[in-house]
Amino acid sequence: MKIKINKEIKGVDGINSIINSETKKALTLKDVCINAVLMPMQEDDWKKKFEKWEIFKKLRDAKEEVDLSVEQISIIKNAIGKFQPPLIMGQVFEMIEKI
């Protein structure tokens, strides 16, 4: 499934973008997904960590869109669901699912 990764995450007003504290630029779907897959989870074994590494490389190297499998999307959504607040999680899920 191809996903456009440069979409900006909006703040509570739904208009202005959230600013990435590291880059001082708008927080994007790509930023959130990369941070999520790199976040260590206690239940991850080496296989899951390697799957996340493979997803990270795809996201890192993508310029405008990335092609992810259903399983890879599930891994991303699981990680985002655990670590992100509803404001970010909801937007990301909608962007990924193209609602």
The tens place of each residue's pLDDT in the chain, 99 residues long, gives 899 999 999 999 988 999 988 888 999 999 999 999 999 999 999 999 999 999 999 999 999 999 999 999 999 999 999 999 999 999 999 999 874
pLDDT at 56 (0 to 100): 98
φ, ψ of residue 10 in degrees (nearest 5)? -95, 155
pLDDT at 7 (0 to 100): 95
pLDDT at 15 (0 to 100): 87
pLDDT at 96 (0 to 100): 92
For 37, residues 6+ apart whose C-beta sits below 8 A from its C-beta are 52, 55, 56, 59, 75, 76, 79
CA distance 97 to 92: 8
In angstroms, what CA-CA distances link 79 with 15, 16, 43?
A: 26, 25, 11
Q: Which amino acid is at 58?
A: K
